[in-house]
Amino acid sequence: MQENLKLVWQNASNLKNKEVDSISSLNNIAIIKNIIKCSSELKSQAIVLKLPATIIIDDKLFTAFIESVRLLEMCGAKYI
């Protein structure tokens, strides 16, 4: 599970040289859906998130990040 989350945000943080508008994966939440399917594993698990500046300064990436965090919280994940 940790590796799945790591991959989600590594991919988002590697967008420095790409146009955000051309990123089709922002609307594709397939990875998050897979994580939700494993929600029983997330209950009472502590998750540490490292948020890169690239996501913070870009409104679309930040919004996608917050939506994903909310979905994970709904599955019972806790954040540090």
Nearest to 44 by CA among 4, 72, 9: 72
Tell me if residue 52 falls in helix, strand or coil.
coil
CB 79, CB 69: distance < 8 Å: yes
Q: What is the pLDDT of residue 80?
A: 64
Q: Tens of pLDDT along 1-54? A: 455 555 555 555 554 445 454 445 555 566 666 666 766 676 777 777 788 888
Domain definitions of the chain by residue range: 2-79
Q: What is the pLDDT of residue 78?
A: 74
